Structure 1
Amino acid sequence: MTWTVLVQIFLCALFGMTLAQNLYLESMVFIPTTFTVAIVNLIPVFTFILAVCFRQEKLGLRSLQGIAKLAGTLVGIGGAMLFVFYKGITINVWHHTGLLAMPQSSTSSSNPHHSNGYALGTALALLSCLSSSAWLIIQGKLSKTYPCPLSNTALMSVMGTVQCVVYALSTERDWSQWKLGWNIRLLGVFYAGILGSGVVVFLTTWCVNMRGPLFVASFSPVLLVLVAIFCSLLLGEKLYLGSFLGGFLIICGLYLVIWGKSIEMRKMTQVEPMETPRPSEAQTIEIVSTTPMPIHSSTSRG
């Protein structure tokens, strides 16, 4: 553990936890959730650009794996945009349970900032995407010098907690917002702390160590598909034709990226030089003994 590693972990906590999450939540105050989700799907693009700039990924447009990675990223982004902005006909897959459905009156009143804060909300969402991409790039750099996902996640969580407390104290002065009761807010805090900041950060760190930042960022559009499925089951929301078409493109783009990375990893393992000598190159070692041999006298006694 060196000071360089600690600084990198501090930056991971700053970009991956404090800035990315708080900027994302703050952007939802000014713009609708649909546009926020659409902007968040730009994370693979930002990650790909930063990875090429910091030489963690090769553009390689003349190679098959480079074309596959770039095409997969663009196809995934296109599928995410189609998923968000195109609806089409309604498709009933199953009966909606609506276990967590909210009354219509609670969702009809929109935030007053939505009408005049689109520019600020869009900027905050873009900064959140850029922070998430920067976290993946720094994590890829950190994985080469400190490949310990568990301790990395623990230190990152501690530093991120301190940073978020400082941020919350400086932005929220209403002490009633700090109170937690036996309601959905307490469940949300436990879920975000255990899964969102614990399990997800650990798995992301481990995957970055294994396959790199671009591989991890390519899975972010899949979040749209999972959210649509759970919203249909738990909140009673409808599924449309655009959801299935966009989800299909997202899966195709993800497959292209994984295929390109597999080709790249296979070529990297083939290029590595073999350290073990060949049998034909084995040298014969001659052992010379320095122990004096006994001399037997052949003269007879007179």
Structure 2
Amino acid sequence: MRGAGEETVAWRRFKRDVVPFVAMFVVECTTVGSNTLYKAATLRGLNFYVFVFYSYVVATLLLLPLSLIFGRSSRLPSAKSPLFFKIFLLGLTGFMSTIAGCKGIEYSSPTLASAMSNLTPAFTFTLAVIFRMEQVVLRSSATQAKIIGAILSISGALVVVLYKGPEVLAAAFLTHSPPTISPHQNLTSLEPSWIIGGLLLATQYFLISVWYIVQTRVMEVYPEEITVVFFYNLFAALISVPVCFFAESNLTSWVLKPDISLVAIIYAGVFVSLFSALTHTWGLHLKGPVYISLFRPLSIAIAVAMGAIFLGDALHLGSVIGSVILCFGFYTVIWGKAREDATKNGAGSEHSPLLLTHIVEDEALSLR
């Protein structure tokens, strides 16, 4: 009996801690993998307008049967309702953020994109304060932590964009030739493409924060996740038709061949738009938003490794320093948010059922 009980507790802990950790790690790998594949495909001639359009089409076709099978019986919003307009706004904002992100990666690298992604909590917190979704109490340590974290995140992003510095991991690492650093190398990031890429990526994550705010409002009124995500991808695909075809009028660019371009498009549609969204939804239900958000800085290390292995990207000192500042600011925002939630929930008897279950399991395990 005792052995069976210990095995049950161990299995519960495995499902509670190990499975979510592995799932979130895989999601970060797939997201960075999509950026890396896209960068590699653009080096082979893939047009980013073509990539954006086909990615939304793949996601829409995959979500259509899922929305019909797993969608609930709630009525669809009227085409003239404010809710329908908000979902359309989701599609427009998502499309604009994807365009900015793809172009930003094209100008820079997936590593810079992963570093800049840590701006999202700072932007989201600022917008939430503006739209009165977050309370600001300047005397509260939680509010002070969130403000300081937001400032640090933006400062770290500026360092990554404006200060490139010498190479600490050279692209020549893969070609077995020693890195060369000129004594006259300018430490500032003078390359226009790097600065433009950084600004585009910052724009992307600002638009993603706007998307979060709008999506929160939508879900408050119409909590149908699969249906909302389906219409979001559908609207984004419809918006991308005139824009992408006008921007890329060469019809030969739209003919897909069985090469890395097709792989990048299918990968983005399946693993980013579908798998990542479903896994994050499950993880949020199981562990909460704080736990899920803690994995975002992990994408930097994954991007560095993938960029060095598959793209031969060089890692510069400015990216390291800026990423450290970004991560510190990110975790400061998360700490402030966690402290604020703990204060709201109160101490002692205000624990959630999931937390109470964890406490009971831990106490039972210690007694055994």
TM-score by length of 2: 0.55
Matched to 1:76, the amino acid is S
**Alpha-carbon separation, structure 2, partners of 1:173 and 1:256:** 46
Aligned to 2:325: 249
- Relative distance call for 1:169 and 1:86 in structure 2 (3 A) is closer
Query: Residue 199 of structure 1 corresponds to which residue in structure 2?
Result: 275
Task: After TM superposition, give the deviation of residue 77 of structure 1 in Å.
Answer: 3.0
Counterpart of 1:158 in structure 2 is 234
Q: Give the residue type in structure 1 aligned to 2:87.
A: I
**C-alpha offsets along residues 32-90 of structure 1, whole Å, 9 cap, x if unaligned?**
426x8587765444433321111112233221111111222222333344345243462
- The DSSP-based 3-state class of the residue aligned with 2:138 is coil
Partner SS, residue 194 of structure 1: helix
Q: Find the aligned partners of 1:203 and 1:20 in 2 and give their Cα distance.
A: 21
d(CA) in 2 for partners of 1:145 and 1:246? 39
Matched to 2:91, the amino acid is A
1:138 and 2:214 aligned: yes
Aligned to 2:151: 74
Partner of 1:60: 137
Deviation at 1:231, TM superposition (A): 0.6
Distance apart, 1:25 and its partner CA? 3.4
The aligned amino acid for 1:33 is: S
Which residue in 1 is equivalent to 2:90? Answer: 12
Q: Distance in 1 between matches of 2:169 and 2:203?
A: 35
How many residues matched?
A: 248
Question: Partner residue of 2:260?
Answer: 184
User: Partners in 2 of 1:129 and 1:266 — Cα distance?
Assistant: 27
Question: C-alpha displacement at 1:124, in angstroms?
Answer: 6.0
**Aligned match of 1:293:** none
Q: 1:115 to 1:82 in 2, by over 3 A?
A: closer
> SS in structure 2 opposite 1:90?
strand
5 Å-filtered alignment, 1:77-96, equals 77-84=154-161, 85-88=163-166, 90-91=168-169, 96=174
Larger Rg: 1
Structure 2: how far apart are the matches of 1:28 and 1:237?
Answer: 12
By how many angstroms is 1:142 displaced? 1.9
CA–CA distance in structure 1, aligned partners of residues 96 and 314 of structure 2:
32
Q: Does 1:33 align with 2:108?
A: yes
Q: Partner residue of 1:174?
A: 250
Residues 253/51 of structure 1: CA separation in 2 closer, same or farther (3 Å cut): same
- Inter-partner Cα distance in structure 1 for 2:157 and 2:175: 26
Give the match's secondary structure for 1:59: coil
Question: What letter matches 2:93 in structure 1?
Answer: F
Residue ranges of structure 1 left out of the alignment (5+ in a row): 99-113, 275-302
Q: Which whole-Å CA distance do the structure 1 matches of 2:204 and 2:168 have between them?
A: 32
Q: Tell me the distance in 2 between the aligned counterparts of 1:42 and 1:190.
A: 27
Give the number of the structure whose residues are more often helix, by fraction: 2
* Cα separation, 2, equivalents of 1:190 and 1:265: 39
Maintained 8 Å contact 2:122/2:330: no
The match for 2:311 is 235
Quick one: distance in 1 between partners of 2:223 and 2:130?
Answer: 23
Change (3 A) 1:43 1:239: same
How far does the alpha carbon of each residue in 1:88-125 deviate from its partner, in whole angstroms, 9 at most, with x for none? Answer: 46258xx7489xxxxxxxxxxxxxxx979x88x88866
Gaps of 5+ in 2: 1-74, 177-190, 351-368
Tell me the TM-score normalised to structure 1 length.
Answer: 0.65
Distance 1:96 1:224 in 2: 19
Structure 1: distance between partners of 2:238 and 2:335: 40
Specify whether residues 228 and 115 from structure 1 end up closer, same or farther in structure 2 by C-alpha distance, changes over 3 A only: closer
Work out the percentage of aligned pairs sharing the same amino acid.
Answer: 27
